[in-house]
Amino acid sequence: MCKDIIGFWGYPHPDIIQKAKDEYKNALWIDLDINYGYKSSKITPDAYCGIIKNIFDNAYFLKDRLIKILAGVGKDKCDAGFFAAHMLKKEGFEVEISYFEDAKPLSSLPDLPICTSNLPLKEKIEKITLNIIENKDYSHLEKSKPRFGFWGVPPNDLKILDLFPNDTHIFGWTRCVEAKNPANVELEMFVQEDLPTVFFAQTFCQKTLLAKYLAAKYNGLYIDIDCIPTNSAYAKIEAFLRLR
């Protein structure tokens, strides 16, 4: 089978992305963080972050087609990303380690047209993650006045995003990604005071700590969801959005 895919997770450093784009002009880029429904690699413990499970499941399923993996392993991702990169290397994958840890002052960050737009929340998040590689200009998007906030990483199951109205603005790590500053903890912890915000983290992710802290501080809703949201998770979000 021909090798035609470059896999990546997190937000690899733009220089590393550009180098791979130049070297493999026709490669297909696949975000290994995303759940494509491939069969389980059974590498991780059962009680483990769903996103890291996706990385292993996707990598093993696509193994024969993967040219290489660009692996975010620094403060821009997490320790589990660091371990995953080293494990996959040991298992014969071509893995290029990436640290993208430069954090700019908030005042010097670019505008965030996707996070603040009136697009459906799911579309916003899809555009932001696709833009890690596509690097398109979205400055034409019209800004919306926010009614709700969504704080967190792109969820394993994007269906919960359908519950939110279009005038939901994005905060947390996803906002950092649009700002091309994925390790900027000051930006990650920035929220708009008085904006009713859902603070989401994947169950078993270290970011649950931040999410719970910020939800308590800003009177938002803290919610952690494992691979598939339960009815209770849907109902909590729905109730929060209806009642606030």
Q: Does 65 bind other proteins (CB under 8 A)?
A: no
The rounded distance, in Å, linking the Cα atoms of 17 and 105 is 24
Shortest Cβ distance from residue 238 to other proteins (Å)?
Answer: 5
Among 21, 86, 180, 236, binds other proteins (CB under 8 A): 236
Of 185 and 239, CB closest to other proteins: 239
The rounded distance, in Å, linking the Cα atoms of 200 and 26 is 36
41, with CB counted inside 10 A (0-12, 13-18, 19+), is middle
Distances in whole angstroms, Cα of residue 59 to Cα of each of 2, 87, 91, 100, 112: 15, 11, 11, 21, 31
Shortest Cβ distance from residue 125 to other proteins (Å)?
Answer: 24
Shortest Cβ distance from residue 204 to other proteins (Å)?
Answer: 19
Shortest Cβ distance from residue 191 to other proteins (Å)?
Answer: 16
Q: Does 230 bind other proteins (CB under 8 A)?
A: yes
The rounded distance, in Å, linking the Cα atoms of 85 and 73 is 7
Q: Does 228 bind other proteins (CB under 8 A)?
A: no
**Binding residues for other proteins, how many (CB under 8 A)?**
13
At CA 98, angle to CA 97 and CA 100, rounded to 5? 165
- Where do contacts with other proteins occur on this chain (CB under 8 A)? 219, 221, 230-232, 235-236, 238-240, 242-244
